[in-house]
Amino acid sequence: MKSILVTGGAGYIGSHVVQQLTARGERVVVVDNLVSGFREAVGSAGLVVGNVGDQALMARVLQEHQVDAVLHFAAHTVVPESVRDPLKYYGNNTCNTRNLLACCVDAGVRRIIFSSTAAVYGMPVGGIADEQTPTQPINPYGMSKLMSETMLRDLGTAGAMDYVILRYFNVAGCDPQGRIGQSTPNATLLLKVACEHAVGRRGQLFIFGTDYDTPDGTGIRDYIHVVDLATAHLRALDHLRNQGESLTLNCGYGHGYSVREVIDAVQRVCGHALNVVEQPRRAGDPPMLIARADELRQRLGWEPAHDDLDFTVRTALAWERHLLAQAMDQH
Ligand code: UDP
């Protein structure tokens, strides 16, 4: 039986995809260097600890596991860090993707699903982006992903590869059954940070910018539940297996929530008020970023199951409570 290679499968989004793949009986091998991933997050999938830029390792994995499709998640993803240390991002995200693609071409692996980001759009006019919106990243993270996208499109044109590029908007929430979640230390993402504060692991929650040209003055984002995002990857895999053409697709719900609306949802779900501190805008944050996401539905037949902010918050908060209990056990 052929295997699916999932790079970064021990990380937040990758592990949710691995969970769905193994649940439907796929054979999965994960390659993850465990820098930001967790061994226990891969469940019953095979785990090879190593770097995706290591061509000798990747050639061996592709061959030994008879890989016929790659889902490539492994990446650094912290935008401010990419501004401080761009070469870290171009190295890990762009150069390592180039090496991985070279190994795939050599091994005759033609199918790849690539984790890209709404950050490739930068600050789109009107705050809404469809897949034809010009790509103008405003930070090295977005650019590192766009460069990888470009390699894939060029390989597609050369007839060497079939791909689905998925551009994630704001990913949030966790496995509703609480088996895996978002464990990233030093989190910066709004919902994760808000839930850490709600369970008492942070003393306050900052709102970055209350003077945007939005109805309540705070930034608006399109938050997609990680389980729905994971499902999009399985649909993309099926699409490529059915000889579908290469695609670039936004992943979001097509509508958004402001920072204040997210905070209200966390307060509703946790049942107490949060200590919210208003701060100036964070550099590089667009006022609004929403996906036009019709293509994902039309091309892959994807339908969201969890387009419900309170549900997303409940799953995220449950995981945060789990992490807190774990931390207390260890003391
Ligand atoms: N944000 C905030 N406080 C935080 C983290 C984020 O007010 O502690 C805001 C941020 O300015 C943006 C939105 O929440 O408007 C989403 O930010 P996040 O970092 O989660 O994702 P991004 O959209 O930057 O990828």
190 lines ligand 1 (CB under 6 A): yes
* CA 288 to centroid of chain Cα atoms: 19
Q: 235 with 114, same domain?
A: yes
| Cα–Cα separations (whole angstroms), residue 238 to 9, 18, 163, 235, 305 | 19, 15, 12, 5, 19
**CB neighbours (10 Å) of residue 322?**
17
Taking only the tens place, the pLDDT of each residue in 233-274 is 999 999 999 999 999 999 999 999 999 999 999 999 999 999
Q: 45 with 161, same domain?
A: yes
259 lines ligand 1 (CB under 6 A): yes
> Which CATH number belongs to the domain containing residue 144 in this structure?
3.40.50.720
Tokens representing 322 are 């789990």
Q: 146 with 274, same domain?
A: no
Task: Please say if 163 is a catalytic residue.
Answer: no
Tokens representing 102 are 């070279």
- Eight-class DSSP state of 286: -
pTM score: 0.97
pLDDT value at residue 118? 97
Q: 104 with 197, same domain?
A: no
Q: 135 with 86, same domain?
A: yes
Which of 145, 258, 259 maximizes ligand 1 atoms within 8 Å of its Cβ, making it the mutation to test the pocket?
Answer: 259
Which of 82, 171, 189 maximizes ligand 1 atoms within 8 Å of its Cβ, making it the mutation to test the pocket?
Answer: 189
* Residue listed under structure tokens 């805008």: 281
**Nearest-atom index, ligand 1, CA of 192:** 20
185 domain residue, yes or no: no
285 lines ligand 1 (CB under 6 A): yes
Taking only the tens place, the pLDDT of each residue in 130-146 is 999 999 999 999 999 99
181 domain residue, yes or no: no
Calpha distance 212→123 (Å, rounded) = 14
Taking only Cα atoms into account, the Rg of the chain, rounded to an integer number of angstroms, comes to: 19
Average pLDDT along the chain, 331 residues, taken 10 residues at a time: 96 98 98 95 96 97 97 95 95 98 98 98 95 96 98 98 98 97 92 97 97 97 98 98 98 98 98 98 90 97 98 98 92 77
Which of 190, 214, 257, 313 maximizes ligand 1 atoms within 8 Å of its Cβ, making it the mutation to test the pocket?
Answer: 190
Q: 153 with 259, same domain?
A: no
Q: 135 with 202, same domain?
A: no
- Eight-class DSSP state of 162: E
Q: 35 with 12, same domain?
A: yes
> Which CATH number belongs to the domain containing residue 295 in this structure?
3.90.25.10
Q: 245 with 303, same domain?
A: no
Q: Are 171 and 291 in contact (CB under 8 A)?
A: no
Q: Are 317 and 272 in contact (CB under 8 A)?
A: no
Q: Which domain holds residue 124?
A: 3-172+223-251
Q: Are 71 and 233 in contact (CB under 8 A)?
A: yes
Sequence length of the chain is 331
β 28-32/288-291 pair status: unpaired
Q: In what order do the strands lie in the sheet with 220-221?
A: 128-129, 288-291, 220-221, 257-258
Q: 71 with 133, same domain?
A: yes
9 domain residue, yes or no: yes
183 domain residue, yes or no: no
**CB neighbours (10 Å) of residue 59?**
15
**Nearest-atom index, ligand 1, CA of 285:** 11
- Into how many domains does the chain fold? 2
Among 141, 163, 168, 257, the active-site one is: 141
Q: 212 with 230, same domain?
A: no
189 lines ligand 1 (CB under 6 A): yes
Name the domain boundary from 232, 251, 270.
251
pLDDT value at residue 163? 98
Q: 136 with 73, same domain?
A: yes
269 domain residue, yes or no: yes
33 lines ligand 1 (CB under 6 A): no
179 domain residue, yes or no: no
147 lines ligand 1 (CB under 6 A): no
